[in-house]
Structure 1
Amino acid sequence: MTNKQTKLVFMTLLLGTFAMFLNQTLLTTAYPSLMKDLSVSTDYVQWLTTGFLLVTAVVIPLSGWLMHQVNTKYLYIASQIIFLIGTSLCYAASSFSQLLFGRVIQAIGVGIAMPLFQTVLLYLSPKNERGAIMGIAGIVIGLAPAIGPSLSGFILTMYNWHVLFLMLIPIIVVVLFLTFFFMRPVLPIEKTKLDSFSVIESSLGLGLLLYGLSLISAKHANKWLLIASIVVGCVFIYRFVLRQKKLSNPFLSLEPFKQKDYLISCILLAIANMAMISFEMVIPMYIQNIRNMSPFESGLSLLPGAIALGIMSPISGKLFDKYGARGLCIAGMAILTAFTFPFVFIKSTTPMVIVIIFYAFRLLGISMVLMPLTTFGMNALPNSELRDASVINKTTKQIASSLGTAIMISVMTMVTNTSNSPQTLLKGYHGSFYVATFFCLVALVISFKIPKKTV
């Protein structure tokens, strides 16, 4: 492809990814409104996020196989059409079950598109420039979910939650138009027979594991069902791993794990994701339920953090190309930890300017971690392993996001079970922030395992 064609492919992928990542956090500020409008509790409404992540994680491994079988252009078009159908169903939903069904359809499209986006971007980028290119992608990957709560809050001051999905539809249509004209068949086709047992084992394993994790935060969950789901899910995942090692043409190659740098990046990205996604869900609840602020004010309070992340992402990418991942990630994790811990002591009277500043510094730290870590791990692999590595990377992050959300909501629910008073609710948030701080500390310690860049 020419340089111009490559840029057009990047532009198409970035716009499509922006819509999909925006969709992931668009509802966080709307949760209180949804709970009231649809008459559901906290442990039910979180399924709009947990269920979405669950289905996405189940579909992602299949996406890896599809990338080997289907023309890149047609596969991306299919993912956008599915996402458009799901978004339209969400817009038209009149009940919680209908909204959840729409989110499930959305998740199928996202599960196909996300690994494809990362693989194509890496495949077309020279290794010595990947940091800068992935840094630009980081603006989208980080900024879209970060502005979701702000944009959602603004819209909810004038319209109902249906409009949150309506505004995505024109963007998806534009992406489909651009894909039709500008997308190219980037990845080589390597036809292989679909191993049905691998699909069944990965789907059941991931599905049951994530379902079990989601039950952790449910108030009236059957504990034996919870334990059984997690245990049986882990058994299927273990069987899946063993099967991939025996197959001559595995459904999902696990070869990337043999590279230490890739393994470290996967672990750190998982923990960082747990700290980010789960926190993004809890902080709007604190602002609205404890501070009695409107959804718009809640979203506006989070906007400076989104701006900080957007500004820092391309800078982090360039710093990565020059200095490597170690210093960036240690500094980023340190900032993330330092500005997460103070939320443990937050009160109903804490000046909002402090909350805004600390939240912004958290996202500044995250911008120094996410894309540099992703690029660091992928640079350790040959191009032939990028597809499977992207699938593993995305699946790991989805599991981590579900686990983090489940744990934080569970801690908050357990603390607030005795009372719904503002003081008890505040203690619940404190418990969640303790968990987020622990995630950050673990990631900070592991980040010292990243090797220094060699010249």
Structure 2
Amino acid sequence: MQHSDHAAAEAPQPHDHVKRLPILISLIIGAFFSILNETLLNIAFPELMVELNVTAPTLQWLATGYMLVVGVLVPASALLVQWFTTRQMFLGAMTLFSIGTLVCGAAPHFSVLLIGRLLQAAGTGLMLPVMMNTILVLYPPEKRGAAMGSIGLVIMFAPAIGPTLSGLILQTLEWRWLFFMVLPFAIFSIVFAFIYLKNVSVPTKPRVDVVSIILSTIGFGGIVYGFSSAGEGNGGWSNPLVYGTVLVGAVSLLLFAIRQLRVDEPLMDLRAFRYPMFTLTVILLMIMMMTLFSTMALLPFLFQGALGLTVFMSGLLLLPGSLLNGLISPITGKLFDKFGPRALVIPGAAFLVVIMWFFTRVSTETTKPTFLILHICLMVAISMIMMPTQTNGLNQLPSRYYPHGTAILNTLQQVAGAIGMALFIGIMTSGQRGFLEHSADPTSPAQMSEAVVTGVHNAFMIGLGFAVIALALALFLKRTQGAPS
């Protein structure tokens, strides 16, 4: 493991005289527009179902597939950041993302649109680890809270604001403009990074473990594909294709984990899990990503399918919470530097439990101001948990584990988001279908609205269970000071 250790440890030497702000701005610009695309289409799903003539579970692959590709690519990032410079990784990733954006905007039908989304996801999957690893290298542990808060402004604000922006755009323009409007900014980020982004590490080009790459791809891909297929109505979990792909994925991940612990130069060094706060961080953030992305997927269906709201009004309801979510992240980062994680994460997790319970009680009679307040509170709770937890967990790792720690976190967050979205939409669809099967008049608009509410209730009950688990885990958090290299 000498090569990988050296690659992670060599970076801090020249950074005292490096101008950090231009590098941070370069990363934030590129990250914002690539991560924005994870939820940009969510509020347009009901419209796209009609225009592209596809079902909700099929359409969800525009979001699930995006996160799946990111989750499959990120495990290799610990290796890639040692093979290529910061500039090469970032510029290559944003170029790939821009090509995918153009393909999406010009897509004549669903299959081409999906291909474009997967190209976008490939760019995002290569870019995310560069951003996280660069922050860890540039900033000492005592200043990382504020720096990570700035990144949190992107990681949390971008996907949260996606439905709002798309709602505003779709009010006057067709769905293709969701991509055409992003493209100029993606190109601008390439130009800006070309001028200002500096390299923070020197490539050492360690050995490429092809077997590990294959095992991680089959593992993460099989699990997410299985969960996604479970909601498509083809027998659910009784379908051999569903439980078969999950089983193959689980076995592949087990073999992947065993191999990482045995080879000299692991693709993703799982020894990082020996640090308890990092392990706790991984579990908490997986729960948070499942909650965030599944909620962003469920609310548009509830607003438009059950309450009869327009796309514009749906986006407007999500705007205040999305804005507040992004603005709070830098503040929670600074508070973390001063008070540690427990002062933020425990109250945030308790708040999340209360909010998720309220979401299980909503109905067609629930007022728009109530939904507005609930969404604002949800975004505040998630903001109090995510960045402080992530910073605290990464701080405990020695510098040689930075590439591997960021790869583990980014991979499992993306896969958890994909599984969460697939699981929650599958539960919603199943509940909706079950309600209509026992309805006296399943074609009645009122009954169809009630069916959507029933499905959403079922999904939010599971979300409430996850929130309770998050609160229990938060009680075990301890502040970390950083481990020696």
TM range (shorter): over 0.9
| 8 Å contact from structure 2 (residues 23, 196) kept in 1 | yes
Deviation at 1:206, TM superposition (A): 1.2
* CA distance, structure 2, for counterparts of residue 297 and residue 345 of structure 1: 21
Of 169, 182, 195, which aligns to 1:168?
Answer: 182
Residue identity matched to 1:360:
I
What is the Cα deviation at residue 392 of structure 1? 0.3
Q: Which amino acid aligns with 2:451?
A: T
- Kindly state the Cα deviation for residue 303 of structure 1 after the two structures are TM-superposed: 0.6
| Structure 1: unaligned runs, 5 residues or longer | none
Q: 1:19 to 1:414 in 2, by over 3 A?
A: same
State the superposition RMSD in angstroms: 1.5
- Tell me how far 1:189 sits from its aligned partner: 2.2
Structure 1 residue ranges, 4+ long, deviating more than 6 angstroms after superposition: none
Q: Name the structure 2 match of 1:356.
A: 372
Shift of 1:453: 6.5
Mapped to 1, the partners of 2:16 and 2:477 lie a distance apart of: 35
| Mapped pair 1:190 → 2:201 | no
Question: Which residue does the alignment assign to 1:20?
Answer: 34
Structure 1 residues 454 and 138: alpha-carbon distance in aligned structure 2, compared to 1, 3 A threshold: closer
Equivalence map 1:34-49=2 (5 Å)? 34-49=48-63
> 1:70 Cα deviation (Å)?
0.7
Larger CA deviation: 204-213 vs 147-156? 204-213
Partner residue in 2 for 1:99: 113
In structure 2, C-alpha distance between the alignment counterparts of 1:4 and 1:19, rounded to whole Å: 25
Q: What's the secondary structure of 2:19's corresponding residue?
A: helix
Work out the CA distance in 2 between the residues paired with 1:126 and 1:195.
Answer: 31
Q: For residue 245 of structure 2, what is the aligned residue in structure 1?
A: 229
For residues 201 and 253 of structure 2, the distance between their equivalents in structure 1, rounded to whole angstroms, comes to 28
CA distance in 1, matches of 2:17, 2:287: 36
Aligned to 1:442: 469
* Contact residue 215 and residue 221 of structure 1 kept, 8 A: no
Is 1:215 matched with 2:212? no
Partner of 2:310 in structure 1?
294
> 2-side partners of 1:149 and 1:201: how far apart?
34
Q: What is the CA deviation profile of residues 352-381 of structure 1, one whole-angstrom value per residue up to 9, with x for unaligned ones? A: 101100110110011111111110011001
Tell me, yes or no, if the aligned pair for 1:412 and 1:428 is still in contact at 8 Å: yes
Aligned equivalents of 1:198 and 1:21: distance in 2? 26
CA distance in structure 1 between the partners assigned to 2:287 and 2:267 by the alignment: 26
* Uncovered stretches (5+) of structure 2, i.e. residues with no partner: 1-14, 437-441, 443-447
Worse-matched range after superposition: 250-259 or 183-192: 183-192
Matches within 5 A, 1:118-157: 118-157=132-171
Counterpart amino acid of residue 411 in structure 1: I
Deviations, residues 221-267 of structure 1 (Å, cap 9, x unaligned):
57111111011111111111111111111122112111001000001
Q: Aligned partners of 1:142, 1:352: CA distance in 2, in Å?
A: 23
Is the alpha carbon distance of 1:374 and 1:454 closer, same or farther for their aligned partners in structure 2, counting shifts above 3 Å?
closer
Seq. identity, %: 34
State the Cα deviation string for residues 146-182 of structure 1 (Å, max 9, x = none). 1111110010010111000011111111110011111
Does residue 384 of structure 1 match 2:400? yes
2:338 maps to a residue whose letter is K
Amino acid at match of 1:184: K
2:332 and 2:140 mapped to 1: Cα distance? 17
Question: How far apart in 2 are the matches of 1:136 and 1:402?
Answer: 24
Q: Flag the 1:284–1:246 CA change in 2: closer, same or farther, 3 A.
A: same
Alpha carbons 1:416, 1:428 under 8 Å: kept: yes
Contact 1:411 1:428 in 2 (8 A): yes
CA shift in 2, pair 1:114/1:221, >3 Å: farther
Give the direction of change, closer, same or farther, for the CA distance of 1:109–1:453 in structure 2 (3 Å limit): closer
> Residues 24-423 of structure 1 correspond to what in structure 2 (within 5 A)?
24-220=38-234, 223-418=239-434, 419=436, 421-423=448-450
* Equivalence for 1:433: 460
TM-score normalised by the chain length of structure 1: 0.97
Q: Look up the SS of the partner of 2:233 in the other structure.
A: coil
Judge conservation of contact 1:336–1:363 (CA < 8 Å) in 2: no
Give distance in 1, aligned partners of 2:66 and 2:155.
Answer: 17
Q: CA separation in 1, counterparts of 2:204 and 2:257?
A: 22
The CA deviation string for residues 255-301 of structure 1, in whole angstroms up to 9 with x for no partner, is: 21110010000010001111111011001111111111111110010
The residue type paired with residue 357 of structure 2 is: F
> When the two structures are superposed, what TM-score results if normalisation uses the length of structure 2?
0.91
Give 1:205 shift.
1.2
Contact in 2 for aligned 1:326/1:453 (Cα 8 Å) = no
Asked if the contact 1:119–1:390 (Cα under 8 Å) also holds between the matched residues in 2, the reply is yes
Contact 1:262 1:378 in 2 (8 A): yes
CA contact (8 A) 1:132 1:318 kept: yes
Shift of 1:30: 0.5
